[in-house]
Amino acid sequence: MTAFAGRVADLLGLSEEAGLERLAGGDLSEVLLIRRPDGHLSVAKGGPAVGTEASMLRALRDAGARVPTVEGEHSGVLLLEHVAGDGLFTPRAWADMGEQLARLHAVRGDDYGWPVNYALGTVQLDNRPRSDWPGFWGEQRLAAVAAMLDRPWRERVGRVVSGLDRSLPQRPPPSLLHGDLWSGNIIVREGTLAAFLDPACYHGDAEVDLAMLTLFDAPPDSFWEAYGPLEPDWPARRPVYQLFPALVHLRLFGDGYAKLTDRLLGALDA
C-alpha cells in the first residue's frame, strides 16, 4: 500500500484490497478508483494543491462546462465523482466538445491570470494577474518555464519572448481557460462530452486552449463548426501558444520532447 492509498483508505474506512484500485494515467499525481461498499464509485487524487484544483473545477462547472463533481477536499486528497467514458472520439463527441469549450471561453475575467499560483507537476505556474497579454505570456509562461532548461533553450525562447509585442494581440478577451486541454484530460461517452478533467485554469487568450488541443490531437471539422469562427490569422499564433506545453513536457519528461520543441522554435524563427 502506498502512503497515499493508505491515507485514502484511512479517510474512508476502507481496506486497500477491497476498495482501492490504481487508475491508468496519473503522470503527475497518484490517482485511485474507490469502490465503496454501497457500489458508489469515486476517484481520489493526490497533490499539494487539491483545494485549488477543486476551485477550478467549480469555476468550470459554473461556466456551464461538464466536469466531475467535487465530493470532498482533505489534506492532500481530492475526492471526485467517477465519470465513465467509452474513449470514442466520434465527430458528434467532438462537436459537443466544441460547443462546451465555446461556452467556457465566453466567460471573461478582468485581467490575465488567476487568483492563486498553480503547478503542472514540478513546473510552477505564475498566475499573478496582469493586463498586458504579451507580457503575461512571455514572462509568466514561456520565460518562466524555460528558466530551468539548458542555456541554448533559454536563449531561443528569449528571442521569441522579445518579439511577442509584435506577434500577439495586446488585449485579447481574457477568456476562462481549461489550461491543460488535450484528449487525455477529456472523457467522452456515447457521442457526447462527459467531462473535462485536470484543469489548470486561468484567464487568457482562448486560442491557448485551441493550440494545445491541436498539438497532440486533430479535431475534425465538426469541432470547429461547433466552436465557432476564429480570427483568420490565428494559425500564425498557434506555434507560440503550442510552445508553452512543449516546454512543460520537455521539463517534465525530458529529451523525448526536444524535437517537438525545436520544431516549434524553428517555426518562430528562434
Cell matching residue 135: 507580457
- DSSP H or E segment with residue 97: helix 91-105
Longest dimension (CA), the chain: 59
Q: How far apart are CA 145 and CA 128, in angstroms?
A: 15
Q: Note whether 242 and 215 are within 8 A (CB).
A: yes
Those residues whose C-beta lies under 8 Å from the C-beta of residue 210, and which sit 6 or more positions away, are 101, 227, 230, 234, 238
DSSP structure string for 108-138: B-SSBB-SS-EEETTEEE----BS-HHHIII
Residue with cell 468550470: 60
Q: How many CB atoms lie within 10 A of CB 114?
A: 25
254: exposed, middle or buried (Cβ count in 10 Å: 0-12, 13-18, 19+): exposed
Q: At what angle do helices 151-162 and 234-253 cross, to 10 degrees?
A: 160
Q: What are phi and psi of 81, to 5 degrees?
A: -60, 140
Catalytic residue check, 180: yes
**3-class SS of residue 213:** helix
| The dihedral sign for the CA sequence 204, 177, 258, 123 | positive
Cell matching residue 210: 485551441
Name the catalytic one among 27, 62, 111, 180: 180
Which residues form the catalytic set? 180
